[in-house]
Amino acid sequence: MASFGWAYVDCSTTGSGTSTGPSGSIQFMAGALSGSTTGSYNLLFYTASVYGHEPAHLILSGNMTITGALSASAIHYQDITHIDATGSTFFGNTYDDLHMRTGSLSIWTTSPPAAATTAILSSSAYSQQTFVRGFGTNYTAVTSSHHTASTFEHILGVTKAGAINITIPSASVFAAGAILVVKDQYATRGGDSITLTCSAGAGYTFDAGTTYTLTGTMPAVNLYSDGANWWIF
């Protein structure tokens, strides 16, 4: 490559050896043994900003088939009609990554319309309902005399003997619609009890009370948040 901007490509020992095509086009062989290259408006490389494209952009107007691997720091899709992937896939690499989609979502045991297809999860953007074939949630064993519930907990099973205090943080922290289940799993608690308490001075309640006490033999309570207070059901 000379410093004054031209290149010699030995395409063939025969033919005219000409080069054609629009400005910025990527060259390819015009024909077998022609000795000539040509370009197309369908495959262009812009060194400067043109027609809304950023500088240093390769523009393909048409389809592309890749038989090997594609590596990119970022991929932007405008329209996807079909994805058929083999093996595991991973999305995101930090806890603050956010993955969003518009439309309904379904997860199946096999790809429809196979005869043995079973819906595992179905979430409809039309009805705004989600159905699951089987449901499991987080379980936390309470093994100390004092436990503070966390937003990632759903079922609290109290396995420790004696008097137990469980602090339930603000309903606003858990957000509206959050559900907590507290169950006494210790069969011989005797005269002791399990007491649910609010954080000091936080200003929220359990059914209008700042505490709620579970007494008797292996009681349980269900709580839901309306975003401001906890309610028992």
Number of structural domains (the chain) is 3
Name the residue range of residue 32's domain.
15-62
Same domain, 117 and 53: no
Which one of 88, 107, 135 terminates a domain?
Answer: 135
Same domain, 169 and 228: yes
Query: Is 186 a domain residue?
Result: yes
Query: Is 68 a domain residue?
Result: no
pLDDT score at 33: 65
pLDDT score at 9: 60
Query: Is 116 a domain residue?
Result: yes
pLDDT score at 1: 44
Same domain, 204 and 128: no
pLDDT score at 180: 98
Same domain, 153 and 225: yes
The pTM of this model reads 0.72
Beta strands in the chain (DSSP E): 28-29, 37-38, 43-46, 57-60, 105-108, 119-124, 129-132, 139-142, 146-148, 155-158, 164-167, 179-184, 194-197, 211-214, 220-225, 230-232
Query: Is 31 a domain residue?
Result: yes
Whether omega for the bond prior to residue 113 falls within 30 degrees of 0, making it cis, is yes
Which one of 40, 62, 84 terminates a domain?
Answer: 62
Query: Is 188 a domain residue?
Result: yes
For residue 172, give the H/E element and its range: helix 171-174
pLDDT beneath 50, residues of the chain:
1-2
Same domain, 213 and 148: yes
Query: Is 70 a domain residue?
Result: no
Measured torsion, CA atoms of residues 107, 110, 114, 117, in degrees rounded to the nearest 10 = -60
Query: Is 55 a domain residue?
Result: yes
What is the average pLDDT score of the chain? 88
Dmax over CA atoms of the chain, in Å, equals 103
Residues 165, 192: contact at Cβ < 8 Å? no
pLDDT score at 225: 98
Query: Is 129 a domain residue?
Result: yes
Q: Which residues pair with residue 230 across a beta bridge?
A: 206, 225
Same domain, 115 and 181: no
The backbone torsions φ and ψ at residue 213, rounded to the nearest 5 degrees and listed phi first, read -115, 130
